[in-house]
Amino acid sequence: MIIAEQKPLEEIKGMIAAADKVLVLGCGTCVTVCFAGGEKEVSILASQLRMTTRMAGQDKEIRECTVQRQCEPEYNEVAAEQIRDADLVLSLACGIGVQTMNEQFPDKLTVPGLNTTFLGQPTEQGIWVERCQACGNCILELTAGLCPIARCAKSLLNGPCGGSQRGICEVYTDRQTPCVWHEIYERAQALGRLDRLMDIQEPKNWHTSRDGGQRKIVREDLRL
């Protein structure tokens, strides 16, 4: 899932400074799960903005709404009237949702209330850990289902660097971050797949990842 964090309140106040009518628009999927942009967070942020702007002597109308998914235009239509009536939309969605809003409502500026951080997994209550970099060429079958691109500090493809000690990454010893190659070895051994780790992986072709332009997937079987 996409993980995001709310921007500092002062930064948000700066973004909405010139607007009299502000719509705080939440998203009901990923950012709701990571407690950054769901209905609850929208309500809290809207209340904070009402209070702080009034204390600053500013006469602003702060409205609030949450849609199911901002990244899909049809879900935003339920809030279309409120969006068009606002001077500015403060989106509590990921960067994809913010861009969708600006494309769908070109006459209305939508600004980000969150910082989109990574693709992560909830490991325990209140903790999310990066698990995927969306590199476009998945090798999990070769590495016992654990990703060395996202989980190794050096994104190594052919085993550990040699600096880890007792299964802990040398780069993040203060966090006690596990060496993913240590974990890959132990899991491959348990699954009887150690032989797969003997295959030398060539240098990764990063053109399927970030190569300077936006990526696009077209499913011809789904097109009309």
Region for residue 136 given its phi and psi (left: phi exceeds 0; alpha: psi -120 to 50; beta: otherwise): left
- The yes-or-no verdict on residue 221 having pLDDT over 90 is no
Which pLDDT value is given to residue 136? 80
pTM for the predicted model, two decimal places: 0.81
**Nearest alpha-carbon partner for 112 in 126, 128, 101:** 101
CATH code for the structural domain at 2-118: 3.40.50.2300
The domain ranges of the chain are: 2-118, 135-200
Q: Per residue in 47-100, pLDDT tens? A: 999 999 999 999 899 999 999 999 999 999 999 999 999 999 999 999 999 999
The tokens of 115 are what? 């910082």
User: Over the range 97-132, which residues count as b (16 or more CB within 10 Å of their CB) and which as e?
Assistant: bbbbbeebbeebbbbbbbebebbbeeeeeeebeebb
Amino acid found at 44: I
Q: Per residue in 173-194, pLDDT tens? A: 777 889 999 999 999 999 998 9
State the Cα–Cα distance between residues 27 and 40, nearest whole angstrom: 11
Strand partners, 151: none
Which pLDDT value is given to residue 137? 85
